Amino acid sequence: MCGIVAYFGKKQAQPILIEGLKRLEYRGYDSAGVALLKANQFEVYKTSGRIANLEEILPETESRAVVGIGHTRWATHGVPNTINAHPHIDYTGKIALVHNGIIENYAILKKWLIKEGCTFKSETDTEVVANLIGYFYERNRARNGENAPSGSNRFEWAVQQAFNEIYGTYGLAIMCSDCPDVMIGVKKGSPLILGVGKEEYIIASDASAIIEHTSQAIYLSDGEMVTIHSEGFDTKTISNEEVTKELKDIEISLDQIELEGFEHYMQKEIAEQPQVLETCLKGRVDVKNGRVILGGIQDKLRDLTRTKRIILSACGTAWHAGLVGEFLFEQLARIPSEVEYASEFRYRNPIVDEGTIFIAISQSGETADTLAAVELAKERGATVLGIVNVVGSTIARTTDAGVYLRVGPEIGVASTKAFTAQVSVLTMLAIELGRRRHLSSEMAQGLLKELMEIPKKVEQIFSQKEQTRQIAQANIDKDNWLFLGRGFNYPVALEGALKLKEISYIHAEGLPAAEMKHGPIALITDNMPAVFIATKCSQYEKIIGNIEEVRARGGRTIVVATEGDEHIKPYADHLITVPDTVEQLQPLLTVVPLQMLAYHAAVLRGHDVDKPRNLAKSVTVE
Residue whose C-alpha is closest to residue 497's, from 533, 543, 550, 467? 533
Chain Cα centroid distance, residue 313: 14
Q: Confirm if 609 and 503 have CB atoms less than 8 A apart.
A: yes
**Beta strand ranges found along 180-332 (DSSP E):** 182-188, 193-196, 201-204, 216-219, 224-229, 232-237, 248-249, 285-286, 291-292, 309-314
φ/ψ of 442, rounded to 5, equals -65, -40
537 is catalytic: no
Q: Which of 73, 38, 100, 590 is nearest to 320 (CA)?
A: 590
Strand extents, DSSP E, 473-598:
480-485, 507-512, 529-533, 556-562, 574-578
Residue 348 C-alpha from the chain's centroid: 24
Cβ-proximal residues to 182 (8 Å cutoff; 6+ apart), any chain: 152, 155, 156, 175, 176, 227, 228, 229
Rounded Cα distance, 184 and 190, in Å:
15
Whole-number Å distance between alpha carbons of 5 and 98: 9
CB-based contacts of 231, cutoff 8 Å, min separation 6: none
Q: Which of 46, 188, 611, 617 is catalytic?
A: 617
Q: Which of 2, 179, 280, 537 is catalytic?
A: 2
* 3-class DSSP state of 376: helix
Full strand arrangement of the beta sheet holding 3-8: 41-48, 31-38, 67-73, 3-8, 201-204, 193-196, 216-219, 248-249
- Do 576 and 591 touch, CB atoms closer than 8 A? no
The yes-or-no answer on residue 10 being catalytic is: no
Q: By three-state DSSP, how is residue 169 classified? A: strand
Residue 278 CA to residue 593 CA, distance in Å, equals 19
- Are the C-beta atoms of residues 54 and 31 closer than 8 Å to each other? no
Residue 281 bridge partners (DSSP): none
Q: How far is CA 40 from CA 34, 96, 141, 154, 369, in A?
A: 16, 12, 18, 16, 40
- Residue numbers annotated as active site: 2, 617
